[in-house]
Structure 1
Amino acid sequence: MTTPADEILDIVDEHDQVIGRSPRGEAYAKGLRHRCVFIQARDAEGRLFVHRRTATKLVFPSLYDMFVGGVVGAGESYDEAALREAEEELGVSGLPTPRFLFKFLYDDGTGRSWWSAVYEVRCDLPVRPQAEEVAWHDFLPEAEVERRLSEWEWVPDGLAAYARLREHRAAS
């Protein structure tokens, strides 16, 4: 049986060009640069999907996130990964294609970094998040998410993506 740590990832350089492949667990352990997708999901009322990760997640266990998403598999495009990850984490099928917004190189401050593609999608379907990925979830008004930023412990790369998304929207 394969585990998430066994998933093969493309390893990329500072220009997001593929330079090799590695199992996810090894990529994390060695700090190898890879690709991730962040999808902001909103319901019909415009509320944001927010969740708390399970304690068993490989990175950032038990922290809150305002994005669904994850790693881009070897040979997979950002767009393919965005739809796959959104449907997996929300527990839906038939989701519209997430809309690409921008990409940035996230640096965690310890010398580890990953390319991060940010998307948005509207989810009018009833969600059934994966129990092994999501410990709690709700659709919250953006004002409540903003209030919770200083109260809850959030995944750091999600916070960085959220800050950049606010800047992106302000500039648009």
Structure 2
Amino acid sequence: MSAADEILDVVDENDHVVGRARRGDVYARGLRHRCVFVLARDPEGRAFVHRRTATKLVFPGLYDMFVGGVVGTGESYDDAALREAEEELGVSGLPRPEYLFKFLYDDGGGRTWWSAVYEVEWAGAVAPQVEEVAWHGFLGEEELAGRVRGGEWEFVPDGLAAYARLRARRGFSGPAPMR
């Protein structure tokens, strides 16, 4: 089954399930669904940052400071966060990511999803999926903030929205470090 054929829950503005649809149809019709964002850090506090492959259905070729993806039909946010983080990092035995908050992402142009944000620390090696990740590295907070602020890398807009909310929750304004 291709990613476009995966069945997703369609949700309303209150995150209640109102139907189901194929992922490709969800994207094409701008149906609201559920996603998870996991900020993966190494023991030094550096964030895993990656560039999405050119074949991704949403935001191909852009950079992201979160791993994650869609929540499958009937799947919990917590289970999706662990599954997606392990898949994208290419690891097994990851500790369960810590839930931080949830928000409704809406770009005003037909892309809208409930977004649960998590954080996890991983001390081992990573082996990201080549189908999902074209480049990866661990960046310190200053470097990540500089990349976001400098505009030399184009980041996924939903990741930037999650990153801004995370920084605000931690008491930072502007592109200062999170820790």
**Inter-partner Cα distance in structure 1 for 2:82 and 2:117:** 12
Q: In structure 2, what is the equivalent of residue 159 of structure 1?
A: 160
Structure 1 moving runs of 4+ over 6 Å? none
With the length of structure 2 as denominator, give the TM-score of the two structures: 0.93
CA distance in 1, matches of 2:70, 2:164: 20
* CA deviation after TM superposition for structure 1 residue 105, in Å: 0.2
Residue 27 of structure 2 corresponds to residue 21 of structure 1: no
Matched length = 170
Structure 2 SS opposite 1:110: coil
**Cα distance between partner residues in 2 of 1:128 and 1:138:** 11
**For each residue in 1:77-124, what CA deviation from the matched residue of structure 2 results, as whole angstroms up to 9, or x when unmatched?**
000000000000000000000000000000012143100000000011
Q: SS in structure 2 opposite 1:97?
A: coil
Distance of 1:4 and 1:125 partners within structure 2: 28
Q: Equivalent residue for 1:80?
A: 79
Moved more, 80-89 or 109-118: 109-118
Aligned to 1:6: 5
Structure 2: which 5+ residue stretches go unaligned? 173-179
Distance 1:155 1:132 in 2: 17
The alignment-based identity, stated in percent, is 74
SS of equivalent to 2:168:
helix
Over aligned residues, Cα RMSD in angstroms? 0.9
Q: Structure 1: where are the runs of 5+ without partners? A: none
